[in-house]
Structure 1
């Protein structure tokens, strides 16, 4: 299973991620949203029984990509 945590996705920005998630409320909300969606995807992918549809899982993956793009943009601007 591939790791999609933000610090794994952006290892070069790990220090900045850690500082912003503690000190920046906007970033903290973005971080939590991303990690929640990522955890849900992992739950569905790792479960022996998949309790969702392929369409729902695809929609969650697309949402994760958009959230990741937003987080990256915010990291680069701040």
Structure 2
């Protein structure tokens, strides 16, 4: 049975910030690094969930918590950039 996996890429998470995401990816190395790490982690979590691979729940939960921390950092950067800070 294939599990329905919810996608968490930034474009789905923050559709109202699409232009800002693209601008920051191009202009901010720290944002770009966080973005790349977030995308890689998201892809890995989704792959593990889709393929229902034998990974302990603690490992996946740890990955998801790290992903949330990355998303929070990027969200603060997006808001600051959009507000001109």
Could you state the TM-score of these two structures normalised by the residue count of structure 1?
Answer: 0.91
Show structure 1 runs of 4+ deviating over 3 A. Answer: none
TM-superposed deviation, 1:22: 1.5
Unaligned runs of 5+ in 2: none
For the pair 1:26 / 2:30, whether they are aligned, the reply is yes
- Structure 1 portions without partners, runs of 5+: none
**Deviation string for 1:54-75 (max 9, x for gaps)?**
1100110111111111110111
Q: Per chain length, whose mean CA-contact separation is higher, i.e. which structure has more relative contact order (CA < 8 Å, sep 6+)?
A: 2
How many residues are aligned here? Answer: 77
CA RMSD of aligned residues (A): 1.0
State the alpha-carbon separation in 2 of the partners of residues 62 and 26 from structure 1. 20
- Mark the structure with the bigger radius of gyration: 2
Q: Which residue of 1 aligns with 2:69?
A: 66
Q: Distance in 1 between matches of 2:61 and 2:6?
A: 16
